[in-house]
Structure 1
Amino acid sequence: MKLSLATRIFLGYAVVLVTFGAVSLFSVAELHRNRLEIRLVSQGYLQLSQDAATLESFHTNQEKDTERLLEEGSVETRRALIRLARLYFPSLMAERLQAAQARAREVRALAPSGEVHFVQDLESRIGELSKRYQAYGRAAEAVFTVLSDETPAPEAVSRATTELRQQETSIGRDIRFLRAALNNRIRERVDGAEDRERRTGLAIITLSVLAIGVGLGATAWSARTLRPVRTLIEGVSRIGRGDYSAQLGVRGEDEVAVLAREFDAMARSLQAREAQLKAQAEALMRAEQLAAVGRISAQVAHEVRNPLSSIGLNVELMQDAFERATFESPVDAREARELLAAVTREVDRLTEVTEQYLRMARPPRPSLEPTDVTDVLASVLDFSREELERAHVEVVRELSPDTPRALADEGQLRQVFLNLLRNAREAMPDGGRLTIATRVHDHELEVALQDTGRGMSEAERSRIFEPFFTTKEDGTGLGLAVCQQILKAHGGALSCQSEPGRGTTFSVRLPRA
């Protein structure tokens, strides 16, 4: 199974994380174990040792009190000491033993499994001491009874005292053994904890070094895995310097190899694109040459306009002269007049063409003033009404009465609308419907002219604003280009939407005044 680059790096660092995690878990486990050990010693065995020391101290004091009682010669004093011993000693000793037993049970609850047997042995020893103290209490009571007499019998005192001393010696020995066992256990646990702490420290150091080694190995493996990236960067740098022939040639199936192959493909694509851009640059140069030809044409048109005016004036004079002239036959007169009319038409057509060329070459600067667009549209529509009616074009006006004023040159705006109306009429040779609507935006005013003509293809629509491009047999291709220039000079825009067979919509946008 082939692993991706990200997966391999992830697995490498996952091993590092698992290794460090194992070290951390081991450290936490050992710390927890040491904490339990400290708790067992501090809250368990030390407290029991203190209880045993208290029992030993209490028992030693009791032995001293017994000696004092035996040595006391005053009957009243002995009786007072006996009353105090009966009142305090049994209850205090029972309380100490009960507290020790309760603490032993608490220690057994928190002791590990290896220590339960020792704690149970402690409990049994403390229980045995409780029984022994009950027998000791009976022996002490016998001594107290004998010593309470004013003249106690020496034999009775000797028997009772001998038994009491045997009980005291045996109980004292058991208490010392209990305390010694606790102290030995405490030393063993402390020594074991110290030894375990040393071994744990060595183990943690060893595992940490191992984890660091694994981390360094994973880093070296990741660096080796990412080594092709350097080759990729060098190849990309060569491509950035324009050396599209550079091929990286990185092999493999990981992401870097796939990316390198994609860069190789991109370099080949850029090489092809560079050739294409070179061809486009040559085409742009040809277009600039054509633009220069257009400027020359405008200059020629400017030079031709004055002679055309003279020709038109002379033709009008000739027409006036022909009205007064006589011809040999009516046929000759009709032919002469038809020739002059044809010359007049051609002069008018050439004059219009030269005017369009001149407007394209040197568009006049607009005089922007707040203008009522609806009034301009209404005026243009009234002017073109007869022409539109003859072409069977139905005009639908959707002009908002509260349309705000636009910042425009009224004369140039009339020229734009007249051109768009003429184009709409010519797009509907068999008649149709022309809808004119105004829309108000935040900072602009929009006028939409929608016809139901034959529409345009996408290729035609993308070129309609190019100078000299036309789909009409007798068109110059300058009308829409001039309209676009005018609206750009106004700070507005002219756009077109069209579909073949579904009509065309021209949108005029003007800034609000």
Structure 2
Amino acid sequence: MKKKLSSYIAGAFIINVFAILSVGGICTLMVKDMVTNIARLEKESGNVSTIYRLNNKIQHAVFMVHNSIVDYDETAENEIMATMAKAEKDLLDYMGSEKSGHNLHTQEEFILLEKLHDNISGIKTLLPEIYRNLTLAEPQDENGFKLLEKYAFHARNLTQSINDVHFKVVSGLVKESYNKMFFILLLYLTCSVVGILASCVGYVVLSRHTIKPIINLATATRRISGGDLGIRVATDSETEIGTLYQSFNAMTEKLQEHQRKREDFNRMLEKLVKERTRELLESNESLSRTQSELVRMEKIATLGQIATSVNHEIKTPLNVLYMNLQLLIRKINQCPMEGDSLKQGMLGLTEIINNEIGRINEIIEEFVKYARFPAPKIKESDINKILTDIAEMVTQNAREADISIDLQLDDNLQTCPVDAKMMIQALLNLCMNAIQAMPYGGSLKIESKKLESCTKISIIDTGQGIEAADLDRIFDPFFTKKDGGLGFGLAIVQRIIEDHRGSISCRSEVEKGTEFTIILPTTTKAICQDII
């Protein structure tokens, strides 16, 4: 049965149109869903703003009550009651709009909204009693104000919990939109690859079954016109091209003798063998390239698995080190050297090593969880003691690098509310950077100074310095000039200092040295972030 080229072309065209319409329809539906998610995100953002405004009204009313104790104003009560009434009305309106929305989180949110409404009602009930005492100039009942503060505190927590519900919805919508975007991208890449492969296959098929046979036929025709009647053309095509070839061969067969037809056949067979050999060689080269690409991709996947297991691989030897350290401590304690200074010194060193192992383990955890950096555990700590401990930690490294350590501590320095472990991590990082910047020796100065309501810490070295163009980028994550560095060191230092409501700055000159200045508040109410 003869086949027509037009049938193949029509079939390819139909498949192509169907694929385009299918992909376009899928992408359109995805984009429509993403637009719907954007509208829902906008609504959730408005709900978050509404809840925050509601909390601001409640806190403002409570603030006005406190202000009335200092400066009594007869009109303040009416204004506060009006504010609370407006807050209650806004809350009821919001509850009504949410009830009509039929959201999946409505039940959870309504429980919190009802609690918030009860808080507002409690404040409204408590306000007349407070202002009655203020009007009569009677001694104030602290229980009333404590209850008012409790209501305000609960209102703040409830509004935050309500917004957490909205934030959860927002996070889900964003994740869903990202998934759909990734699906569209994947679909686009897949269609692109398939389209390119289809184009290549179509080109090869068209060249082999249409263009090449026509060229061969034209060549054979020229040879016949030159007197070579022994040429033959061969094809497996069952289309019009095959019919044309058959007619051509039938014409030439009538012009040749039986022997010449055999010779012509042998020559054509040899030609076909060469073509197939060339194609096999090309296929072998393509297979080799594909195999090399697979090996490369396998190496990339292996590197990804190694990167994923780095955290585990570091912890394992660290745990082994810790267990061996415990065995060492046990052996030292079992030695008959009671009261011996050598034994006490060894126990002191093992205690330092034990503490450092624990700190290294915590640093690994904090590095892995850099995106969710934990809040500092604030506790009154002696900054001078922390700096002294830091100096002792880096003494051996400094001695090996021919670096002198100058420790200048202000005896009038008070304790500061800091997380001692985080502060040690930050200061040790700065000191180790300073030592590494002085490979040929130098001086490291660690200084503390008491300011009006803040503490100033300076880490000064006489090392290689930092180029002026890099000073604005040294605290950026992933920025590093060290071989093998990750670029997280100074970023983590800045994060720690800023989490303590402090500030850090850097001054440096190439070939002269670098000075890092840290400003920390000495009290929880002090403001030091603007002091340089």
TM (normalized to structure 2)? 0.38
Structure having greater relative contact order (Cα 8 Å, sep ≥ 6): 1
TM (normalized to structure 1)? 0.40
Greater radius of gyration (CA): 1
